[in-house]
Amino acid sequence: MNKDKSVLQGCLSTISHQSNLMKQNLNDNNLLVALKNSSNFLNELRVNQLSPKQYYELYISIFDSLEYLCNHLAGSYNMKKKKNKDTSFLSDLYELVQYSGNIVPRLYMMIAVGTTFISTGDAPTEAIMKDMIEMCRGVQNPIRGLFLRYYLSQKIKDLLPISNEHEFNNTVEFLINNFIEMNKLWVRLQHQGHSSERELRYKERKELKILVGSNLVRLSQIIDDYNDDHYSSSNFYMKKIFPIITEQIIQCIDPLAQSYLIDVIIQIFPVNFHFKTLNELLTKVILNLNPMLNKSELIDTLIDRFINYNDDEINLNDFEKPEDFEILKKSLFDNFWKFYLSLVDKNLPIKEHSNILVNYLKLSINFDRDNYENLNRIYQFLSEYNFDENEGENVENLHEKEEIWLNLLIIPIRNFESIINLLNLPFFSEIFNKLTNKSYQKTICLEILNKLLDAEDIIITSTDDIDIVFKYLLVLIKESTELNISTKMGITKSFKINDNKTLTNDFLTNQNKICKILSKLNHKSTDFSNKVSDLIYIKKKYLSKNISSIILTYPTLIQLILNNLRFLGMIRKSDIKVVNQFKGLSMILDELYEYHGDYYSDLIVSLYLNLAIVCDSLNLSTLTFEIFNKIFIIFEEKLILGQGSPSNLLNINNDPHNSLNYNSIQYQTIVTVVNKLYFVRNLSKDDYQSLITKVTLYGSKLLKKQDQCRGVFNCSHLFWWTEPSPYQVEDSEEKDEEESKETKETEETKETEETKETEDHEEPEEIVEPKEKYLFKDDKRVLECLQKSLRTADSCIDPYLSNQLFIEILNKCLVFEIYGNEMITANYINRLIELIKTNLDNLVDTNNLKDNDDKEFKLYVEIKSFFNRTLTFIEQQKEDEERFLDIET
């Protein structure tokens, strides 16, 4: 390499030296000496040791020097012509330089002088051109020959005569001739030297390729530039240029030449030419290229050209478009497809199949976005074609094949508008089903899922659509819960359900996404009945297929059905169909309970409660009553017996003194039930009383004293209604169609609270007009509850807890006092305050509480301040609450 470099430097300095001499001699008017100088530096081009790149450096340097010579000659010619002197020296010179000793310098000189002569406009152009191109045959050394001919083409490119048809034809012939000869030299280079140098030759030829391609660039330029009445450049290309040059390319058999030159043809001729010659290019040219050649690269380039053209189409004026553009566009895919079918007979490597088909997908997506037939053709072919025919079926082949399938299935999912149409292609699903690698199937399903989530419009509008989509989503629903190694080792995240089952984080995410799809299902439709039946259909056919999925998807499903049923109920009242659908929903809940009741009973209870509240708001009192009974059964079965796991309370530090810190799942459930039951308004009095009595009983039987006490005093509210139910549905004329979120509903109903009519409880049938709100009140029961709580609190062994509970009960009493319960008198409250005071004093005395750091002392301070706050509250209330006046703090 270093040796080559010094050779190059040597050559370059000779050229520079001789070139300087030449310039000097030209300036001194020593033309002949100057020509000798040029001949000297041109001799350097006979060097053998240089690589094409290095030779190109010599060429550039010489080119510059010869330009100087040419400019000088042209300058003196013009000068002489101006002065009307004899200008024959150029033609003489053209003859003279041919006596130069060596052929390479001679021909460069000839071209330099010849083209300068032509540039004067006074030369026999045709003859000189013919002469030059003929003489070039004399150099058969490939590298020298190629550069020489490149020089010819570079020098003559602006001088090519095209002023009439004859000249134009000659020019085209000249360029084609030069192209053919250069291609021959280029191909021949491969076979020179020892066979061990084949790689080196190949490398050299790769460097030289642009010289050969330059001829095609000139051709492309010249057929654009030529202008004539009956001339159409694309027709000329199709009839004259294309057949000749492609013939050459096919005949040379050389893979490098073929792949490069076809690439150049694709790149430098305009796309509308390619539209016209597409069929020939594919079936007559590319199909007949060297079998070793990878055709997919050429197809890639060609299709890219078409796609870019289509993207820019609006920019093209009609001149630049082929006349029958629309028709050509339509037949584009057909042409490519025909080509592919003939190609596959030729034992194509599997990678080639894939590359070509990916490009076909791109083409189809770009040109004919709504045409799914082309896609189906591709998939049909994939499913029917036996790729392994010649390679034998083995694991590796199968793997490779499926990887290709995967790619071909994913591209359109990402790019096509309507995923439903795509998924509905019969052969799309066939290929999908043929995939033996389940992780590929999963990848595709995830793509589908994400595409559905990204879509802004409603995609799934009919039961058919549901089947089309969920057939794929089912893969994610049914996904095996078996864990792979990395999950087992805790490398990837996992979570547990039902104690024994571990699921991956991915599975959780996917089910979450499926839930989102459920809520997007036709979400703008007001046909609630249809939406409900769609949801139930999905549940039956798909969601119920995997127990692990049930726990993750059913809660959303149930809530969605419930929302729709609520609207439906508001429209249709207690239509028997609606009642049946509620029953159906209750059964879905039962199913969830069946599978997951053991571990998620608290979740199930809250879902049942939502259902009950909606039923009540629609005045379906029988159903409401039954659902509450069901809730009690769950409570007894799973919670009292202690099996229901506190799904989200595991880490709470149980502090009995803190009433907000729920002590047990059972207690929490009671409070939740009470909260909902408190707003149930449409049950018959008997039913209601039976329910609240039961719940109070459960409260009183909780395990711990503090739970019992708090349970019961919370239940006391059930006997003393103070406000209308926020869940109550008004018999409004307007049905809101948009709101499906429960929170919004609540707000809405709150707004209309004032005007709402509530039904008389004991005679629910007789509703005539809006009348005074009836509120269920049983002061005796309230007192009983409070008494029961007091007794429980008193029986606590822990004196601090006992007093804490007393103060909590005191606060309850105040509430009932405010809301006018006659049984809770000022006297009653005073006695309670007195009791607490005494107890607290006793606490200090007996336990000798002084030390600030003492835990008990702190506890005492907390309770004391709670008590004080309560007393302060009473004092403040006295200002506007008459009833408080009698309370002594």
* Residue number, 221 or 689, with CB nearest to other proteins: 221
Binding of residue 106 to other proteins (CB under 8 A): no
- Segment 792 to 851, residues that bind other proteins, using CB under 8 A: none
* Residue number, 13 or 746, with CB nearest to other proteins: 13
Strand partners, 495: 503
Binding of residue 269 to other proteins (CB under 8 A): yes
Residue span binding other proteins (CB under 8 A) among the ranges 11-19, 422-430, 551-559, 738-746: 11-19
Please, what is the minimum distance in Å from the beta carbon of residue 208 to other proteins? 7
Please, what is the minimum distance in Å from the beta carbon of residue 28 to other proteins? 8
The span from the CA of 643 to the CA of 70, in Å, is 103
* Residue number, 263 or 591, with CB nearest to other proteins: 263
* Residue number, 321 or 451, with CB nearest to other proteins: 321
Residue span binding other proteins (CB under 8 A) among the ranges 214-222, 338-346, 374-382, 797-805: 214-222
Indicate the SS3 state at residue 536. Answer: helix
* Residue number, 190 or 376, with CB nearest to other proteins: 190
* CA angle 526–531–534, rounded 5-degree value: 160
Binding of residue 322 to other proteins (CB under 8 A): no
Binding of residue 56 to other proteins (CB under 8 A): yes
Name residues whose C-beta falls within 8 Å of residue 5's C-beta, 6 or more positions apart in sequence. none
Q: CA nearest 535: which of 584, 596, 608, 605?
A: 584
- Segment 604 to 643, residues that bind other proteins, using CB under 8 A: none
Element (H, E) at 494: strand 494-497
The span from the CA of 681 to the CA of 683, in Å, is 6
Please, what is the minimum distance in Å from the beta carbon of residue 25 to other proteins? 11
Which tokens sit at 217? 């660039």
The span from the CA of 469 to the CA of 466, in Å, is 5
Please, what is the minimum distance in Å from the beta carbon of residue 76 to other proteins? 7
Q: What is the CA radius of gyration of the chain?
A: 47
The span from the CA of 216 to the CA of 241, in Å, is 10
Binding of residue 268 to other proteins (CB under 8 A): yes
Binding of residue 46 to other proteins (CB under 8 A): no
Ranges of beta strands (E only) in 708-827 are: none
* Residue number, 246 or 556, with CB nearest to other proteins: 246
Binding of residue 2 to other proteins (CB under 8 A): no
Binding of residue 165 to other proteins (CB under 8 A): no
Residue span binding other proteins (CB under 8 A) among the ranges 14-22, 322-330, 425-433, 522-530: 14-22
* CA angle 568–569–574, rounded 5-degree value: 135
Binding of residue 19 to other proteins (CB under 8 A): yes
Site for other proteins (CB under 8 A): which residue of 320, 324, 590, 875? 320
Q: Cα dist. 420→56, 363, 423 in Å?
A: 58, 20, 5
- Segment 290 to 319, residues that bind other proteins, using CB under 8 A: 308, 312, 315-317
- Segment 180 to 209, residues that bind other proteins, using CB under 8 A: 206-209
Please, what is the minimum distance in Å from the beta carbon of residue 339 to other proteins? 23
Residue 592 identity = L
Binding of residue 53 to other proteins (CB under 8 A): yes
Question: Would you say the C-alpha torsion 732, 733, 734, 736 has a positive or negative sign?
Answer: positive
Site for other proteins (CB under 8 A): which residue of 4, 9, 228, 735? 9
Binding of residue 57 to other proteins (CB under 8 A): yes
Residue span binding other proteins (CB under 8 A) among the ranges 10-18, 502-510, 600-608, 634-642: 10-18
* Residue number, 163 or 315, with CB nearest to other proteins: 315
Binding of residue 31 to other proteins (CB under 8 A): no
* Residue number, 79 or 458, with CB nearest to other proteins: 79
Binding of residue 656 to other proteins (CB under 8 A): no
* Residue number, 17 or 399, with CB nearest to other proteins: 17
Binding of residue 5 to other proteins (CB under 8 A): no
Largest Cα–Cα separation, the chain:
142
- Segment 217 to 236, residues that bind other proteins, using CB under 8 A: 217, 220, 224
Name residues whose C-beta falls within 8 Å of residue 487's C-beta, 6 or more positions apart in sequence. 494, 502, 504
Quick one: DSSP state of residue 328? H
Q: How many residues bind other proteins (CB under 8 A)?
A: 56
What residue spans of 716-854 are helical by DSSP H?
A: 742-751, 779-794, 799-818, 826-847
Binding of residue 35 to other proteins (CB under 8 A): no
Site for other proteins (CB under 8 A): which residue of 48, 101, 158, 499? 158
- Virtual torsion, Cα 486, 492, 494, 500, nearest 10 deg: 10
Binding of residue 32 to other proteins (CB under 8 A): no
Please, what is the minimum distance in Å from the beta carbon of residue 175 to other proteins? 14
Binding of residue 142 to other proteins (CB under 8 A): no
Binding of residue 210 to other proteins (CB under 8 A): yes
* Residue number, 92 or 320, with CB nearest to other proteins: 320
Using an 8 Å Cβ cutoff, are 7 and 47 in contact? yes
Residue span binding other proteins (CB under 8 A) among the ranges 22-30, 379-387, 768-776, 834-842: 22-30
Binding of residue 329 to other proteins (CB under 8 A): no
Q: Which residue has the tokens 């079936």?
A: 283
The span from the CA of 626 to the CA of 812, in Å, is 30
What residue spans of 500-575 are helical by DSSP H?
A: 505-520, 528-541, 547-572
Please, what is the minimum distance in Å from the beta carbon of residue 449 to other proteins? 32
Indicate the SS3 state at residue 702. Answer: coil
Binding of residue 157 to other proteins (CB under 8 A): yes
Strand partners, 502: 496
Using an 8 Å Cβ cutoff, are 198 and 43 in contact? no
Binding of residue 689 to other proteins (CB under 8 A): no
Site for other proteins (CB under 8 A): which residue of 105, 114, 145, 270? 270
Q: Which residue has the tokens 């299935």?
A: 409
The span from the CA of 335 to the CA of 343, in Å, is 12
The span from the CA of 717 to the CA of 674, in Å, is 8
Indicate the SS3 state at residue 804. Answer: helix
* Residue number, 213 or 412, with CB nearest to other proteins: 213
* Residue number, 217 or 293, with CB nearest to other proteins: 217
Helix axes 2-27, 52-82, angle to 10 degrees: 10
Indicate the SS3 state at residue 495. Answer: strand
Helices (H) and strands (E) in the chain, counts: 36, 2
Please, what is the minimum distance in Å from the beta carbon of residue 288 to other proteins? 24
Indicate the SS3 state at residue 801. Answer: helix
Site for other proteins (CB under 8 A): which residue of 5, 32, 49, 79? 79
Binding of residue 49 to other proteins (CB under 8 A): no
Site for other proteins (CB under 8 A): which residue of 182, 222, 264, 836? 264
Q: Cα dist. 486→102, 443, 527, 528, 743 in Å?
A: 76, 19, 47, 45, 41
Binding of residue 870 to other proteins (CB under 8 A): no
The span from the CA of 250 to the CA of 29, in Å, is 52
* Residue number, 308 or 661, with CB nearest to other proteins: 308
What secondary structure does DSSP assign to 821-873, as a single string?
Answer: -TTS-HHHHHHHHHHHHHHHHHHHHHHT---TT-HHHHHHHHHHHHHHHHHHH
Please, what is the minimum distance in Å from the beta carbon of residue 235 to other proteins? 16
Element (H, E) at 502: strand 501-504
* CA angle 353–359–361, rounded 5-degree value: 100
Residues binding other proteins (CB under 8 A): 9-10, 12-14, 16-17, 19-21, 24, 26-27, 29, 52-53, 56-57, 59-61, 64, 67, 71-72, 75-76, 79, 154, 157-158, 206-211, 213-214, 216-217, 220, 224, 264, 267-272, 308, 312, 315-317, 320
